[in-house]
Chains A and B, each alone.
Chain A
Amino acid sequence: DTEVTQTPKHLVMGMTNKKSLKCEQHMGHRAMYWYKQKAKKPPELMFVYSYEKLSINESVPSRFSPECPNSSLLNLHLHALQPEDSALYLCASSRQGAKYEQYFGPGTRLTVT
């Protein structure tokens, strides 16, 4: 099973809302990733968790707050977002790091109004 699941599939939120995106994998992978993708662009890395510890933050604004409660789950907490944060948010996992194959979830399409 090489499945990464993400919920919700779609999310519309106002600029004052707080919401969370969820990602789950049951492949025993120890590295998990959040990416942001704008239309007609490649995915852009936001955060990397390795063995449940944050190892890379690509200078992401603090209105995005990642959390890795256990080795199977990854959350992205959203607060006070801007309309330009509207994008497809992708979660991925790999066995132990970037040199291993990455598997992506279906994404959450976020619209900030």
Chain B
Amino acid sequence: GIQVEQSPPDLILQEGANSTLRCNFSDSVNNLQWFHQNPWGQLINLFYIPSGTKQNGRLSATTVATERYSLLYISSSQTTDSGVYFCAVDPSRDDKIIFGKGTRLHILP
């Protein structure tokens, strides 16, 4: 089946820093989503981005489907950005999405 790899697995940054999270996938996909899971467990939708570039405030994402990767950029980090960031893809073989293992981000005040 499709492999979804996220890097780095863990990231510790000072407040105000910028970061880039990466998601590689091993096969073509119908869609790709980025989620932020906060410390209370809620999965928050960040981007639905099967291809192209999107921006939402301090966050932006780019998916290059032909090269099978997506990047999530976080600028001017805040402590509320802490949590786990997951990418999830739909490999279009059956009706389910496949999650990567996540990047655990900790922003220090």
Contacts and interface: CB of A to CB of B under 8 A. Distances in A.
Interface of A: 2, 31, 33, 37, 40-43, 45, 48, 50, 55-56, 88, 90, 92, 97-104, 106-107, 109
B97 A98 contact: yes
Closest 5 CB pairs of A and B: A42-B99, A104-B43, A99-B30, A101-B48, A98-B90
Interface residues of B, number: 23
Contacts of B99: 42-43
B40 A106 contact: yes
A2 B80 CA distance: 21
B25 to A, nearest CB: 14
A9 to B, nearest CB: 9
Interface string B35-53: 1000011110100100000
